[in-house]
Chains A and B, each alone.
Chain A
Amino acid sequence: MLDVENISTYYGNACALYDVSFSVTENEIVSIIGANGAGKSTLMKSVMGTVRPREGKIVYKGKDITHVQTHKIVKSGIVYVPEGRDVFTKLSVEDNLTMGAYSKPAKAKELNALHEEMYEMFPRLKERRKQMAGTLSGGEQQMLAIARGLMSKPDLIMFDEPSLGLAPIIVDEVFDRIQAINKRMGISVVLVEQNAFMALSISSRCYVLENGKVAMQGKSSELIDDETVKSAYLGM
């Protein structure tokens, strides 16, 4: 459903992505791993159009979206849950969720049902619904960012380092929800992670980014046993 074809992205003259291609098909979880600065976030931002690739093409559901404005890309069904969560700190949890549904105009009743669905999935958010998002813990903010992303009922959701800075027990919870989003809701998932083991264990395919290039790609079940991946990313 998403095809990124040979894109190169620059910040000024510095090349952050060089000739990168990757694809996501319906209903799968694809992971992207790589060290800090490898270009993972830049790849996500290039898809969303918050930075623009200088070369190459991005096709979503058969439509070229390389030059489409970000808010229209969101409307067409791709949601990006950014690194560092980026929740609206001065809005309540409830309002953050409402804003997540911005691109899909919904009647008050449907909107309420959507809220309830999210609270069922993330009960902790329900307790904190009136609280300012800025006062939530890191784990809660991550849950909120995920729930906010789901509010627009995307077909493809991309998570950028959702486990960053979270306690191990919360990390398990986050990965559990990401799997549920894929299995139960049938949403395709791109998972960007430095936590390579977790990413490989829940994804079907994986891309390894190194210095802005795709260094390896393949089935996650095979990469997890690969010697280079083991030594470079799994610390074995």
Chain B
Amino acid sequence: MQAVILQLAVSGIAMGFVYALVAIEYTLIWNACGLLNFSHEKIITMGGYVFVGTCLFQLGLPNIPAIVLAVILLAIFGIAIAALIFIPLRNSTRLIAVVATVMLGQVINEGVILIWGSVALMPKNFLSGVSQILGATVSKSYVYIIIVSIIIIAVLQFILKKTKIGKAMTCVSQNKTAASLMGINVKVSMAITVAISFGICCIIGVLTAPIFTVKQQMSTMIALKGFCAGVIGGFGNLPAAIAGGLILGVVENFAGLILPSVFKDVVAFALMVVFMLFFPDGLVGVKNRIQKHIAKSQMEKLS
């Protein structure tokens, strides 16, 4: 039993980190450009194909250089999409922006089929095998997901908090006019943000390739659940998105213990609906409410 729980915890946390990365990836663009990037699912898939189809199979690169090249290619693709679509659309109406990103997803989807065909690809000897943790057998891919995700989150935090480019990104997300008045090139900052976002999409595709294999629908579920994670955490807030993702991953995994396994995916969406109805600001809103409540009761005690 203990082994099962440990197994569920590890795979739950790993999937939680995947949802968290998805939430981070679209939150970055949401904050920088004010756009919900509905094409993100297809970009994750594209990342998977570029990595396995092009870098591993066609170019025959070893794993690490293949990942690096794939991430760089996706980041460059991100800059192009930012310049052609996201930046020109930043001041348009919501509906046009939504339609545009959905259509972009379709175009990428067709492009992927055109370039790599509609076959599923499986990387060989990549993040495969199992490890023993405290008597439980867990798939190595989950362990790698956790480690890599933590590294990405740490690096992203470092970039946002400590580097000049990152601070500029934060300013742009808070107030674009004020940012430009500081001498920040807002468009370049947006393009860099989109490049980072697409790079993260690629890493998500790489990390989940051994789990889902690289195919058209590999990221449909995680893209949706990433949205759930954002709603549960609190939209537009990076740390909250991470918390939302982790909670979602663990809860849905353990729900599988009690519920029939077909209901596993329902848990995420049910949780999201509950949050939308009762806690529309997500965990951040709940935290703020509790803090206010504590402050209020302290004030009452004092008076």
Contact = CB atoms under 8 A, between A and B. Distances in A.
Contacts of B175: 86, 88
Interface string B247-273: 000000000000000000000000000
Contact of B181 (A80, A91, A104): A80
Given A95-B167, A98-B167, A79 B181 contact: yes
A90 B184 CA distance: 17
Interface string B180-205: 11111110000000000000000000
Interface stretch (A10-18, A69-77, A172-180, A190-198): A69-77
Interface in A85-107: 86-91, 95, 98-100, 102-104
A101 B66 CA distance: 39
Nearest to A103: B183
A51 to B, nearest CB: 10
Interface in B153-169: 164, 167-168
Contacts of A75: 183
B177 A82 contact: yes
- Sort chain B's interface into a size bin: 10 to 19
Contacts of B178: 82, 86-88
A31 interface: no
B171 interface: yes
B182 A50 contact: no
Interface string A151-164: 01000000000000
Contact of A102 (B174, B177, B183): B183
A48 interface: yes
Contact of B183 (A74, A82, A87, A88): A74
A90 B164 contact: no
- Sort chain A's interface into a size bin: 20 to 34
Contacts, number: 59
A124 B155 CA distance: 34
B170 interface: yes
23 contacts: A48-B181, A50-B177, A50-B180, A70-B180, A70-B181, A71-B184, A71-B185, A71-B186, A74-B180, A74-B183, A82-B181, A87-B178, A88-B175, A90-B170, A91-B171, A91-B174, A95-B167, A99-B167, A99-B171, A102-B164, A102-B167, A103-B183, A152-B183
A38 B133 CA distance: 71
Residue with the highest number of chain B CB atoms closer than 10 Å, among A50, A79, A88, A90 = A88
Contacts of A69: 185
B187 to A, nearest CB: 9
Interface string A93-131: 001001110111000000000000000000000000000
B182 A90 contact: no
A88 B183 CA distance: 14
Given A86-B178, A90-B170, 15 more contacts: A50-B181, A70-B181, A71-B182, A71-B185, A82-B177, A82-B178, A86-B175, A86-B181, A88-B174, A88-B178, A89-B174, A98-B167, A99-B182, A102-B182, A102-B184
Contacts of B183: 71, 74-75, 102-104, 152
Residue with the highest number of chain B CB atoms closer than 10 Å, among A71, A79, A90, A152 = A71
